[in-house]
Structure 1
Amino acid sequence: MIKENHTAFSDFILLGYSGIPELPGLLFLVFLLIYVGIVIGNGLIIYITVTDYALHTPMYFFLKNLSFLEICYTSVTLPKMLVGFVTEIRSISFIGCAAQIYFLLILGGTECFLLTAMAYDRYVAICNPLRYKLIMNNQLCFGLVTGSLTVNMSVHAGQIYLVFTLPFCGSREINHLFCDIPPLLELACADTYMNKVIVFVAIAFFLIIPFILILASYVKIISTILKMSSREGRKKVFSTCSSHLTVVTLFYGSATIVYLSPRSKERVDVNKLLSLFYTILIPVFNPIIYSLRNTEVKVALRKLFCRKM
């Protein structure tokens, strides 16, 4: 029996939560509210960091770019999911699937590097304050952001090419909420060992190494904080780092479990929930975390609302 080989003119079916017919209406409403919250919350962060001169510092330059990334990141997957909930059309074209994965990888990898740059910024500000303005100049900040984006665009273009030149036979059903490499490789009717190795190398480069660098930065930061004689000084310094540390823990924790844990039928639903966590819920939490834990952001928001009133 000859299996069907899908070409660039065929499409895939995103199963999502199609096995539970009662959910689509409720999920549409919940995800729509989440998407609106992501756009408004991160849009506010972008607006105040652009308009408030007090926030024209490297820390908030990175935060502004992080908020922009979050809006783009969720826009790659959420609109397609919302359409699927309303119309029950879950098909996605071959090219559309490739584009979705490519932009997810670019934006996700750039976010990993950006979180690392934010940790380095905090390290310099706390451990080397006298040279902070000299080290964290505009050229370095801009270079870190553009460099992160350039590296991700180049590396992931090759990874996408290797995945989508594979022959896909038989089933077209991707048992996931959106296109992603691990569930897509399960549909390939060829040896995917090299692809899995490349995925692991990419995870090490874009996920594990940045996390180690962030961890090293915070070891130095915590060591410096503990040496401070003033209790108020320790509290103030820790409050400026706690919001970033919270976001890092949530993002890296869920992404690491999804991409490094062994895939099995029993873990499919767990992986779906975790993928929702780092692609949708964390972009919602980011503005809240930075607003609640950051005094300067709260002051800027108060000034904005007072002007509007």
Structure 2
Amino acid sequence: MVDKTKHFISPDLNSLVVTSRYKIPIKNWDKIIKEIEKALPRWIYLSKRKGVADFFDFQLKLWEYQQLLKLKSKDPKKAFEKKIKLYNRILIEKRRGVPFKFRVLPEQHLSDGIIVKVECIPVMYYLITKEIKREFHEQSVQEAHIECVSLVRRIMKGVLKSQEITSPTVDPFIKRTEINADKLGKLRSEIASVVTKLDVNYEKNLSEAINEYEKGHYLASALITGRVIIYILAQVEGKTDEEKIKFLQDNKIIKRDRKDVKEFIIKASKKARHFLAHDINIFADPSDALGMLGDSVKLLGIFAKLKG
């Protein structure tokens, strides 16, 4: 029998984003936006700010979701939860390879136009980030690339008459677990060396968190790691993070002039509590889960010094 599962892949997010660069022969952003809006009547224009540079998003319009946005409720929290659930359900019903977001990021302003980076993101990208679905048929991923490339060129070359600087492309198909395999291997080694004089359950929990990460269960991984971080800090004297840091400084576990270590502990604590909050709207992406694993190992190293 043929193993059909081999045709399914768990793609890295970067391998789903089609990116390219163009020189637009138009200097007026309002004109550029209007031209794109005309070409994408079923999309919503969203202007956002990232640091000091603007980037411009066009997102696929979901009619059913737009209707729900008009509904009013006495309980804003419940209304918001309903909107999120409906939004996710509508996206699940969409074809996986349908372009979902079209983003334009200005990189350089010239005398005769603007050089921009363009990104096209399919529905399956959103499904992965929200941990709704992680594996897709390889053909669906290929179709998503084709559709995004077609959309990008139709808008940039056909509508805006732009010069293509770099062709629309994506990272190679690779499983997300393979990307950070080296990092995970190093984390396992670091955990094993740090916990030699500590409770064996630290290693058990973090090993489980790594296993969940490798399966693509990022929220589960973050939740397990989060409780380890909270438990470690609970073993340090002090009611607040600042008091715990002072205790570590007084006991010469960390130096008083190491502001970076102080900031790291506070940040790790806040992030762990954030994911352990009883909020169904909180999700973890790969970077969140991997970052927390790294934080937990650093904290274990500090805690081991205290116990040693």
TM-score (norm 2): 0.33
| Higher-helix-fraction structure | 1
**More RCO (CA 8 Å, sep 6+):** 1
Higher radius of gyration, 1 or 2: 2
| Higher-strand-fraction structure | 2
